[in-house]
Amino acid sequence: MNYCEWLKQLINGERNNVGDGYKIYYSNKKFEELESIEGKELFLVDEKKFEDLLFIDCEKKIIEFSKGEENKDVYAVVLEIDTGVGQIGISINTNEALENTIKQHYPNYSMERILGLSGLKYNPGDFSYRFFEEFLSNESNEILNAYYCINNEHFISEISKSIAFKSDFFDHALLLIGINVVNRLKSTFKCLNKTSDFIAYPCINDIDTDTLLSLIKKTNSLETINKVFPEINDYKKYLDSVLKLEPNKQVEIWIRAYMDFMEGKETDITLRIKELNKTRLDVKDEIVKLGEYSVPKLVELICKLGREPESRFEWIIPVKERLKFMSNLSEQEKAKYKSNTIEGELTVDFLFMIKDIGIITNPLLEKLEELLKFLYIINKDNRRCGLNLSVLARVLYSLRPAKYPEPKINSSTNMLENYVEF
C-alpha cells in the first residue's frame, strides 16, 4: 500500500496502534522512551489538549485578520500541517490577492492551471496571507519544537519544561487534530467577509488530489465541494467510464495520456482532461493506482526510452566541443541533443511511478538490472552522467533493499560509484 492510500485510511478512521508507551523530550535536550510516566514531573501532551491550544491560536488569528482591510472576498482558509517536522500554519486568500498573484507571477497561466483542486487558486503556497510560528502561542510552539526533536531524532530545541507524548501522537495525529480544529472554527469563519464559494480545510504535503479531496470532505459538505470544484463530479463520471474497461486497457489509456501531455500533444484525452481542470499529475495518480497492472508497461517503456539519448548532453561534452559538433547538424538533428529530451524525462518519471507503486516481479526486475548495466557502460567514460542511471539505482534499492545496496552517487559526475555491488 502506498503512502496516499494509507493516509486515506487514516483520514477515514482506520488508525493503527503504534505503541502504548510514551516519548519524552526533556528541557536539557535529552530524549527517552518509557512504558509509564507515573511519578514523573512532565507536561503530558494528549491530542485533545493540543487541539484546544491550536484552536485558540487559529481563532485568535482569524479574528485578528477579520479586523484588517484585507478581509474582503475571502474564498479559502487552509490549515497547513507538516507531520514530519511538526510545522503548522494557517493560510488565507482573497479574490483580490489571487488576481494580484496571477498578474505578478503567473500572467501566462491558463484557466485550467488556475482553477480546480490542483490549480493555483487552491495552492496555499501561493496564498498571500500565510502565518506560521508567529501566530502560535509559546506553549504551542514549545510542543511542536519537542515534537520535531523526537520525530527527527534531532535534539536541539530548548524548551522550558520537559514534555511527554503518547507514542501514537506520532502516527499523524497532527493531521487528525487539524481536521477537528477546522470543524471547530466554522463559527469563527462568520467574522470573515467570505465569498459564496468559501471553503476551509486542512492539508498536508506530498499527497495526491484524491487524498486531498478526502481531507476536504472531512470539513465541508458535498454541496460546498460540488460548488467549489464542479469538475470533480465531471471527472468522476469520466473516470467511471474508464474504470469499466479491463485494467490493462486502463493502463494503456492513462500512460498514452501521460506521454501526450509530456510531448505537448493536444489529443482527445488530453483536451478532455484539461477541460475538467486536471493535469498530467492527475493522470500519474491513475497510473499509480493501477499498481501491479501498470508495472509491466512502465518497465517496457523504461527499457525502451532509457536507451535513447538523455537529457544532460551539455554536461557530458564541454561547450567548445559541443558547439563545433552541433554546427554540423541540421535543426532536426540538433533537437535530438537539446538539454531535455522527452525520452530522458519520461524514463525518470516512469521510474518514480514504479517506486510509488512499490511492487515488481523478479522477471521485470531483471529487465531493469539489464538497463542499469547498459546505462553504466555508456556513461562510465563520460565527464558527467545523466539522471537515468542514478534514478534507476535508487529505485532498485527502494524496491529490494535486501538485494541491492544503497546507491553511492558522485556529486560531481553523477556517476554510480558502487555499481559492482549491484
| pLDDT score of 13 | 81
What lies within 8 Å, CB to CB, of 129 at 6+ separation is 65, 70, 91, 92, 93, 94, 97
Q: H-type helices in 106-246, by residue range?
A: 111-114, 138-152, 173-184, 209-217, 222-228, 231-243
User: At which residue does the C-alpha cell 532509457 appear?
Assistant: 306
| pLDDT score of 392 | 96
Q: Is 45 left (phi over 0), alpha (psi -120 to 50) or beta?
A: beta
| pLDDT score of 326 | 65
Q: At what angle do helices 231-243 and 247-262 cross, to 10 degrees?
A: 130
**What are the strands of the beta sheet with 163-166, ordered from one edge?**
31-34, 22-25, 163-166, 43-45
Provide block-wise average pLDDT over 10 residues at a time, the chain (422 residues): 80 74 95 93 94 98 97 98 96 97 94 88 96 95 96 94 94 94 98 97 89 94 91 80 92 96 89 81 92 97 90 51 68 61 91 95 96 90 80 95 92 85 86
- What are the E-state strand segments in 35-162? 43-45, 74-82, 87-94, 129-131
Quote the distance between the C-alpha of residue 329 and its chain's center: 41
pTM of the full structure: 0.66
| pLDDT score of 240 | 84
| pLDDT score of 312 | 46
| pLDDT score of 386 | 78
| pLDDT score of 411 | 81
Q: Is residue 36 within 8 Å of 63, Cβ to Cβ?
A: no
Alpha carbons 261 and 119: distance in angstroms, whole number: 16
| pLDDT score of 18 | 58
